[in-house]
Amino acid sequence: MDFTTVILAGLILALLLVLTLKSSKKYNLPPGPVALPLVGNLPQLDRNAPFKSFLKFGETYGPVMTFHLGRQRTIVLVGYDAVKEALVDQADDFTGRGPLPFLIKATKGYGLGISNGERWRQLRRFTLSTLRDFGMGRKGMEEWIQEESNHLRGRIDSFKAAPFDPTFLLSRTVSNVICCMVFGQRFSYEDKQFLQLLNIISEILKFVNSPLGQMYNIFPWLMERLPGYQHYIFAQIDKVREFIEMNIREHKEALDPSSPRDYIDSFLIQTDQEKHNPTTEFHHDNLVSTVMNLFLAGTETTSSTIRYAISVFIKYPNIQEKIQQEIDSVIGQDRCPNMEDRKSLPFTDAVIHEVQRFLDIVPFSLPHYALTDISFRGYTIPKDTVIIPLLHSVLKDEKQWAAPWTFNPQHFLDHSGNFKKNPAFLPFAAGKRACVGESLARMELFIFLVSLLQHFTFSCAEGPDSINLVPEYSSFANMPRRYKIIATPR
Q: What is the pLDDT of residues 356-394, one digit of tens each?
A: 999 999 998 989 999 999 999 999 999 999 999 999 999
The answer to whether residues 33 and 57 touch, using CB atoms and an 8 Å cutoff, is yes
Output 414 or 25, whichever has higher pLDDT: 414
Does residue 136 register a pLDDT over 50? no
Task: Look up residue 416 and give its amino acid.
Answer: S
Q: Give the chain's largest Cα–Cα span.
A: 82
Give the pLDDT band of residue 135 (cuts 50, 70, 90).
low
Does residue 242 register a pLDDT over 80? yes
Q: What is the pLDDT of residues 273-283, one digit of tens each?
A: 999 999 999 99
Output 342 or 214, whichever has higher pLDDT: 342
Output 10 or 61, whichever has higher pLDDT: 61
This prediction's pTM? 0.91
Query: Running DSSP on this structure, what letter comes out for residue 366?
Result: S
Q: Which of 2-11, 37-46, 272-281, 409-418 has the lowest mean pLDDT?
A: 2-11
Does residue 24 register a pLDDT over 60? no
Give DSSP secondary structure letters for 92-132.
GGG--B---HHHHHHHTT-SSTT--HHHHHHHHHHHHHHHH
The answer to whether residues 54 and 78 touch, using CB atoms and an 8 Å cutoff, is yes
pLDDT of amino acid 137: 42
Cα radius of gyration (the chain):
24
Does residue 475 register a pLDDT over 80? no
Q: Give the 3-state secondary structure of residue 68.
A: strand
Give the pLDDT band of residue 134 (cuts 50, 70, 90).
low
User: In this structure, what are the phi and psi dihedrals at residue 430, rounded to the nearest 5 degrees?
Assistant: -155, 170
Average pLDDT, the chain: 91
Nearest CA-CA partner of 197 in 297, 296, 58: 296
Name the packing angle between helices 346-359 and 284-315 (round to 10°): 110
Q: Is 88 exposed, middle or buried (0-12, 13-18, 19+ CB in 10 A)?
A: middle
Of these ranges, 47-51, 166-170, 438-442, the one predicted with the greatest mean pLDDT is: 166-170
pLDDT of amino acid 4: 47
Q: Alpha carbon 101 to chain centroid distance?
A: 17
Does residue 312 register a pLDDT over 90? yes
**C-alpha dihedral (56, 311, 428, 472), degrees to nearest 10:** 50
Helix H or strand E segment including 344: none
Does residue 73 register a pLDDT over 60? yes
Give the pLDDT band of residue 139 (cuts 50, 70, 90).
low
Does residue 487 register a pLDDT over 70? yes
Give the pLDDT band of residue 6 (cuts 50, 70, 90).
very low
Residue range 118-134: mean pLDDT, rounded = 88
Alpha helices in 184-276, H assignment, sequence order: 192-209, 211-218, 220-223, 229-254, 263-273
Give the pLDDT band of residue 439 (cuts 50, 70, 90).
confident
Domains (range + CATH), the chain? 3-489 (1.10.630.10)
What is the C-alpha end-to-end distance of the chain, expressed in Å?
73
**Interstrand relation of 72-77 and 386-389 (parallel, antiparallel or unpaired):** parallel
pLDDT of amino acid 390: 96
Residue range 142-156: mean pLDDT, rounded = 94
Q: What is the pLDDT of residues 447-467, one digit of tens each?
A: 999 999 999 999 999 999 999
pLDDT of amino acid 26: 67
Does residue 249 register a pLDDT over 50? yes
Distance CA 154, CA 147 (A): 11
Distance CA 442, CA 169 (A): 19
